[in-house]
Every structure is written in structure tokens, then in C-alpha cells.
Amino acid sequence: MSSAVKSFCSRWTSLLLVLTLSLVLASCSLRQTEPDTIRIGVTVYDEQDTFIASLIQSLQQDAQQAEVRYGIKINVSVADGKGNQTTQMEQVDRFIKQGCDVLCVNIVDRTAAAVLIDKAKEAEIPLLFFNREPVEEDLRRWDEVVYVGAKAEQSGVLQGRMLVEAWQDDTERWDKNGDGVLQYVLLEGEPGHQDALLRTEYAAKSMTAEGLSAQKLAGDTANWNRGQAASKMRLWLDQYGDAIEAVISNNDDMALGAIDAFLEKEMEVPLVVGVDATKQALDAIEQGTLYGTVHNDADGIAKALLDLCLTYSGILEDSQAPHLEKGHYLWFSYQEVTAKNIDEWRQSLN
């Protein structure tokens, strides 16, 4: 080959090399600008519920952070079941049709879980229940079904202990009629909800187990709702007045509703305890109207849901996946918060 031909060939080879290289680079950068998208379909029993709203807000924030961390797009669609199981079923059908990768369901009616699990199984879409717990038999219908939540009885036990502690610290203050017995009313959450049933049962059991004699004057549901609790409390105040020495509430919103009723009537607020540790409840503890609450870990539950979504979508490796008890459960602990530990507790969150 003449030297002119040789140099022509080698120039061609380098040109080809450069071309191939730039093509490879272009396709890589293309992939970077078009990240994988994970689609998460979430439906809640009621978007207006304070605790659920904060859990969803936390989930959305976690998803945004994960987009940056893993260089992916995470599409979280949230539907509101508005307390209607039929509506929620339709929302799940829609998520399945849209090709969601994972379903997160805060089920309206816990007894409807089996139908939902069968739908998810047929579509092969992992299903994560949270906060409203289906029975174990239902969860066992398919491997890719998980329940994320907190153990209800623990919150009841902690409430009972808080009451005993308050009573022992200052019996004179709380025992208004001086009979050595704690007269209380009980505000229950939705009928049939595991948290309402078990908190009610274990708060009373743990008070008596710790040697406090207590007498229930009245108890009724106010469906987790502040307004409904205030109305109920107004009726009880008309009926029992000063005889009410404590209000045990299955959640904070209802505890705050009860306090609203006492304040409206310009009556001294008795010993009131709630569950959740919502922002408003923590403020009320600082103001001295709410004696205490039990922290229900909305942020922890949200983070676990997202980690499970990332695991099922193959973004997190199995070794990084949250550990599931009995193959189906992820549990969170409750923690008590009163004026005694609120500062320390707030700091531990940061």
C-alpha cells in the first residue's frame, strides 16, 4: 500500500472510532435524561384525616428525595376513598389499568381486603396495606402482600401507663371528688377499626393492671373526628359536669375536640390523653391542655412504604429491603409523649 492510501485508511479508522464513541456516549446520556419511572398508586380511606394526611405528605417528600438519590422518576398518585369501599375498589382498578408498579392501600373497610388482594395478585402488582389492618388469613392469600403499621395494643398500654403516672404524681389535682377512683369518659375511633378496639381495651386493662381503680362514666365513637368529639363531650358535660376526671381518647383529634368543649364552657380541663402526636397535639401539650399522647409513627410508616416500593421495583437490593415479620408484616413502635419528655422527644426527631 502506498503511504498516501495508508494514511487515508488510518484517518477513516479514527473517524469511525470517534463516530462510534460519540454514538455510545449519546445513547448513555439519553438514558440519563430519561430515567426509569416508578408508578405508585396510593388510595386512602379519607384524605381529611389528620394523621393520614401527614403520612401521605411524608411519603411524597420521601419520594422526591429518592428521585434525586437514585436518579429515577417516582410518580405517586393519591386517590381519596372518601369512606366508600366501592369508590376505593374503582380507584384500585384504575391504578391497575394504568400499569402502576406498586399499590399502597389504606383500606376503607378492612373486611374487603381479600377481593383487593385477588385483584393485585391477578395483575401481579405488589400490594402494601397500611394503617388499617386486614386479618392475617387475608394477607396469606399472596406472597407480595404486606401490612405496614403499628401495634394497636401497645398504644393502649402506654395510654394506661401515662394515666397511672399522672394520677400517682398528683392525685389531689385529678381526683376531684376525692374518692380515690378515676372517673373517666372514653372517646372511641371508628367502630371496627383495630386501633379503636384495641386502644379502648388495653388502656383500661393497663390502668387496672397497674393498680389504679377507675370507673367509666360513658363511652362512644366520634370516628377519629375533632368536631364529632366536641359535640359528644358537650352532651357528657351537660350530663356529668364536674364528675369527669379524665378523657381517654383513641386519637389526638378527638382529644382536642374534648378539650374544645371544656374550654367553650370555661371549665377546667381534666386529665386528657390521646394518640398520634400530631402537630396540634404537641402544641396542646406545651400549652398544658393535653396531658399526653402516644406517638404513632407516620414518618416511619411512610418511609417503609417507599422502601418497599423501591425494593419491589428493583431499585433497592433485597439486602437493603425492610425485614418482614412472618413474611407479611412491618411493625412500628409507639412512644409516649408528655410535658416531661416533649423537648427531648422533639430533639430526637431532628
Does residue 177 touch Ca ion according to CB under 5 A? yes
Does residue 51 touch ligand GAL according to CB under 6 A? yes
DSSP 34: S
- For residue 49, the partner it binds in ligand GAL, Ca ion, none, with Cβ less than 5 to 8 A by kind, is ligand GAL
CA-to-CA distance for 295 and 293, rounded, in angstroms?
Answer: 6
- Strands, sheet with 182-188, edge to edge from the N-terminal-most edge strand: 214-221, 182-188, 246-249, 271-273, 292-295, 335-338
177 vs 333, beta carbon nearer Ca ion:
177
Query: Between 100 and 129, how does the x/- string for binding to ligand GAL read (CB under 6 A)?
Result: ------------------------------
Query: Between 55 and 94, how does the x/- string for binding to ligand GAL read (CB under 6 A)?
Result: ----------------------------------------
- For residue 195, the partner it binds in Ca ion, ligand GAL, none, with Cβ less than 5 to 8 A by kind, is ligand GAL
Does residue 216 touch Ca ion according to CB under 5 A? no
- Other C-beta atoms closer than 10 Å to the C-beta of 292 total 27
- For residue 43, the partner it binds in ligand GAL, Ca ion, none, with Cβ less than 5 to 8 A by kind, is none
With CB under 6 A as the contact rule, the residue among 129, 224, 312, 332 that binds ligand GAL is 224
With CB under 6 A as the contact rule, the residue among 58, 88, 91, 131 that binds ligand GAL is 131
With CB under 6 A as the contact rule, the residue among 138, 153, 195, 297 that binds ligand GAL is 195
Residue type, 221: T
46 vs 245, beta carbon nearer ligand GAL:
46
Residue 206 C-alpha cell reads as 393497663
CA-to-CA distance for 246 and 90, rounded, in angstroms?
Answer: 43
Does residue 175 touch Ca ion according to CB under 5 A? yes
- Other C-beta atoms closer than 10 Å to the C-beta of 125 total 20
| Cell 394504568, residue located | 98
Are 73 and 348 contacting, i.e. CB atoms less than 8 angstroms apart? no
Query: Between 118 and 157, how does the x/- string for binding to Ca ion read (CB under 5 A)?
Result: ----------------------------------------
Strand, helix or coil for residue 103: strand
Please, which residues have CB within 8 angstroms of residue 39's CB and are 6 or more apart in sequence?
75, 77, 98, 99, 100, 101, 102
Please, which residues have CB within 8 angstroms of residue 151's CB and are 6 or more apart in sequence?
331, 333, 334
268 vs 283, beta carbon nearer Ca ion:
268
223 vs 289, beta carbon nearer ligand GAL:
223
289 vs 296, beta carbon nearer ligand GAL:
296
Does residue 251 touch ligand GAL according to CB under 6 A? yes
- For residue 177, the partner it binds in ligand GAL, Ca ion, none, with Cβ less than 5 to 8 A by kind, is Ca ion
- For residue 175, the partner it binds in Ca ion, ligand GAL, none, with Cβ less than 5 to 8 A by kind, is Ca ion
Are 59 and 306 contacting, i.e. CB atoms less than 8 angstroms apart? yes
Distances (CA, A) of 46 to 60, 94, 107: 17, 18, 10
CA-to-CA distance for 302 and 3, rounded, in angstroms?
Answer: 70
Residues that bind Ca ion (CB under 5 A): 175, 177, 179, 181, 183
Residues that bind ligand GAL (CB under 6 A): 45, 49, 51-52, 131-132, 189, 193, 195, 224, 251, 275-276, 296
